[in-house]
Structure 1
Amino acid sequence: MLIDSHCHLDRLKAAPDTASLHAIMDNAKAQGVDYLLCVNVRQQGFEAMRDKVAAFNNVFLSSGVHPLDVQEGLNIEDIKRFATDPRVVAIGETGLDYFYSNDTKSLQQQCFEQQIALAVEVNKPLIVHTRDAREDTINMLKAGNADKVGGVLHCFTENWEMAKAAIDLGFYISVSGIVTFKNAGELRSVIRQVPKDRLLVETDSPYLAPVPHRGQENQPAYVRDVAEFVAELRGEKFDELAQYTTDNFFNLFKDAAKLIGR
């Protein structure tokens, strides 16, 4: 069994409606992907996302506002209300991105702080996006007592020092198809060092398709390519990695485990 721990099914061009999404889900199932976490990035899009995947009982949800979408606004009460949906197992995608949007740094920090506080309040883990904001991300997680709920640094591309700091806070490190790219030498070094009980795999679909699917729209089925690459990179058997990343997912997202009676 594999789990795509981070995807955006509502953003797939190949699946503009629920009917066409069935083919995407069938492809994932054929590759051994049994569960998926569909991640919210805009509060204005949560309800449409939820409704689009409502027919699939193997899809979990999150509620949050991405750091690159903060200018559209954050109403924390809306995020809290969405989080009462039993399929919502996490708060996010939230975090800091100074690479693409350094001019909104202050607003990003305000929104991140609010969502950390909400995660602690509702006792759900955080899904964190971080880019070129290593020190601020870790410091804000510490200041907000995020260690009480834990979470994941998704689509990780930072250094080992940041990964270690996050792991020490009880966070997980999730690796995407970026690890298969030719220029991912530093990331590969980091992923080799992540403890087995702190690693997740993801697609971030529809973005960042792994080798050998570069140039295509990414989809959850391709998490198998990520997992196979990472297993080889770490000198592990694929079945072993599939098992412990699945266990890690349910250890982190305890509400997901409860939903399926695990």
Structure 2
Amino acid sequence: MIFDSHAHYDDEQFDDDRDVILKEIKDKEVIGVINCGSSLKGLEMSVKLAEDYDFIHAAAGIHPENADEFRDEVKERIRSLAMDKKIVAIGEIGLDYYWEENPSREVQKKVFREQMAIAKEFNLPVIIHDRDAHGDTLEILKEFPDVIGVVHCFSGSVEFSKECLKLGYYIGVTGVVTFKNSKVIKEVVKELPLDRLLVETDCPYMAPTPNRGKRNQSNYIKFIIEEIANIKGASRKQIEEITIFNTKSLFNLN
């Protein structure tokens, strides 16, 4: 069984066959999906997906690439959604310093802090996007000691993962762990306590080997689980069970 802790089925890549794919993944033992908002349009569609499909849950947030969208009315919309039972997290939020055309670092940090404050206000976990911004991300996480969550699509070092663990965060592992040249994330997984591990697709992106380069979908997590099991010297069933338990624990799902 599979619980995908981070997906984007609101993405336009699924516009032609979204319902077909969602039925397919459920038939292939995907028991849960956290669909994460990235833009105002995306978070609204995430809510709609969660209303339409009993195995989908939504996270509401504005991605750092879309930080310029975060106006007062958007903030209030996220606050109102935070009270909805289908909203299980604030996300995906954080910092992305990779693209020069992204909103300025100062704008990103301001929007990140404001959404962390919403998570604190409503006692919700957060889904953190961190790309080439480890230092600033860690600094802001430390400013909100009452908030926990997951650093999704983890791309940092073993040392950075340990700092995140100290703050109570989980580590989200994507299909990158299956790539031959992904030495750093393999080392992170090797050192990571199993009780802080989540698996995710970030679909439609990050498809694992042997589907690398294709559109990703939740049932492909089986390849991620197999790789993690090899690294940890565990069985596939053990990794399935612990990652489902961890996901339900973090997002308060029965």
Question: 2:128 — aligned with what?
Answer: 128
Structure 2 counterpart SS, 1:187:
helix
Indicate if the aligned counterparts of 2:97 and 2:105 stay in contact, CA closer than 8 A.
Answer: yes
The reply on whether 1:221 has 2:219 as its aligned counterpart is: yes
Cα distance in structure 2, aligned partners of 1:77 and 1:26? 33
Structure 2 counterpart SS, 1:212:
coil
**Offset, 1:214:** 1.3
> Where does 1:41-52 land on structure 2 (aligned, <5 Å)?
41-52=38-49
Letter in 1 for 2:56: V
Question: 1:189 — aligned with what?
Answer: 187
Indicate if the aligned counterparts of 1:43 and 1:79 stay in contact, CA closer than 8 A.
Answer: no
Letter in 1 for 2:20: A
- Provide closer, same or farther for how the CA distance between residues 30 and 235 of structure 1 changes in structure 2, counting only shifts above 3 A: farther
Cα distance in structure 2, aligned partners of 1:85 and 1:235? 40
Indicate if the aligned counterparts of 2:49 and 2:56 stay in contact, CA closer than 8 A.
Answer: no
**Offset, 1:244:** 0.5
Cα distance in structure 1, aligned partners of 2:2 and 2:41? 30
Cα distance in structure 1, aligned partners of 2:85 and 2:103? 36
Indicate if the aligned counterparts of 1:12 and 1:205 stay in contact, CA closer than 8 A.
Answer: no
Structure 2 counterpart SS, 1:120:
helix
The reply on whether 1:76 has 2:69 as its aligned counterpart is: no
Question: 2:35 — aligned with what?
Answer: 38
Question: 2:240 — aligned with what?
Answer: 242
**Offset, 1:205:** 0.3
Structure 2 counterpart SS, 1:10:
coil
- Provide closer, same or farther for how the CA distance between residues 12 and 191 of structure 1 changes in structure 2, counting only shifts above 3 A: farther
- Provide closer, same or farther for how the CA distance between residues 12 and 217 of structure 1 changes in structure 2, counting only shifts above 3 A: farther
The reply on whether 1:89 has 2:88 as its aligned counterpart is: yes
**Offset, 1:241:** 0.4
Cα distance in structure 1, aligned partners of 2:75 and 2:12? 26
Question: 2:115 — aligned with what?
Answer: 115
Cα distance in structure 2, aligned partners of 1:26 and 1:149? 34
Structure 2 counterpart SS, 1:54:
helix
Percentage of pairs with the same residue:
37
Structure 2 counterpart SS, 1:93:
strand
**Offset, 1:51:** 2.1
Indicate if the aligned counterparts of 2:11 and 2:42 stay in contact, CA closer than 8 A.
Answer: no
Calculate the TM-score normalised by the size of structure 1: 0.91
Q: Could you list the per-position Cα deviations for residues 218-251 of structure 1 after superposition, in whole angstroms to 9, with x for gaps in the alignment?
A: 1111111111121112211000000001110111
Q: Could you list the per-position Cα deviations for residues 171-197 of structure 1 after superposition, in whole angstroms to 9, with x for gaps in the alignment?
A: 000100011112211111011111010
The reply on whether 1:58 has 2:55 as its aligned counterpart is: yes
Cα distance in structure 1, aligned partners of 2:208 and 2:12? 16
Q: Could you list the per-position Cα deviations for residues 116-159 of structure 1 after superposition, in whole angstroms to 9, with x for gaps in the alignment?
A: 111010000010000111111111111123xx231000011110
Question: 1:199 — aligned with what?
Answer: 197
Question: 2:162 — aligned with what?
Answer: 164
Letter in 2 for 1:115: Q
**Offset, 1:103:** 5.9
Calculate the TM-score normalised by the size of structure 2: 0.94
Letter in 1 for 2:224: V
Structure 1 residue runs of 5 or longer lacking an equivalent are none
Letter in 2 for 1:223: I
Letter in 1 for 2:126: L
Larger relative contact order (Cα-Cα within 8 Å, sequence gap ≥ 6): 1
Structure 2 counterpart SS, 1:214:
coil
- Of 22-31 and 36-45, deviating more is 22-31
